[in-house]
């Protein structure tokens, strides 16, 4: 009876884990994208998310699912990392389906990549249209008058 109880609890635990724990999308620039791993090779990346032209302090780490390995997604992510494109990635988060990291190092798996801007830096400093501007970043300057001579 005790073995049956343990088997029932174990099977309930393995089957109750959901594939789509959460879904979402993030916008930013990919700063790292590489294939790595000792036992299971997987594509891993880091996205610096942006909000109104400013980078966030916390980068978003993601994986490409080894069970899917879409070559178009991998090519888009690699090009975005190489050329500095601004992209929107759609992802899903798993809960409990990646215990041995056989699908990727993170639980965030990219479903789709959409290129938003292939020249985000050049578009920030576009000098053709002087009548409109963009917020590039915000800085704060503190001037200590005692240090002035």
> What is the phi/psi pair of residue 113, to 5°?
-125, 130
Is pLDDT above 90 for 90?
Answer: yes
The answer to whether residues 40 and 102 touch, using CB atoms and an 8 Å cutoff, is yes
Confidence bin at 115 (pLDDT 50/70/90): very high
- For the stretch 20-32, pLDDT in tens is 678 899 998 999 9
Is the dihedral angle over the CA atoms 21, 80, 86, 31 positive or is it negative?
positive
The answer to whether residues 78 and 110 touch, using CB atoms and an 8 Å cutoff, is no
Is pLDDT above 60 for 74?
Answer: yes
Q: What pLDDT does 56 receive?
A: 63
- For the stretch 49-69, pLDDT in tens is 876 555 566 789 999 988 788
Enter the tokens of residue 142. 């503190």
Residues 117 and 108: their CA atoms lie apart, in Å, by: 23
Q: Which residue has the higher pLDDT, 42 or 96?
A: 42
């Amino acid at each position: 009876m005790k073995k049956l109880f343990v088997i029932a609890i174990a099977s309930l635990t393995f089957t109750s884990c959901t594939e789509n724990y959460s879904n979402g999308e993030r916008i930013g620039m990919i700063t790292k994208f590489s294939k790595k791993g000792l036992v299971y090779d997987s594509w891993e990346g880091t996205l610096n998310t942006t909000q109104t032209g400013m980078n966030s302090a916390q980068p978003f780490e993601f994986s490409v699912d080894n069970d899917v390995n879409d070559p178009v997604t991998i090519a888009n992510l690699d090009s975005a990392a190489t050329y500095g494109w601004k992209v929107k990635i759609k992802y899903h988060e798993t809960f409990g389906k990646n215990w041995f990291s056989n699908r990727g190092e993170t639980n965030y798996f990219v479903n789709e990549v959409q290129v938003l801007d292939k020249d985000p830096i050049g578009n920030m400093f576009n000098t053709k249209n002087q009548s409109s501007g963009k917020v590039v970043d915000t800085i704060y300057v503190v001037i200590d008058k005692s240090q002035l001579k």
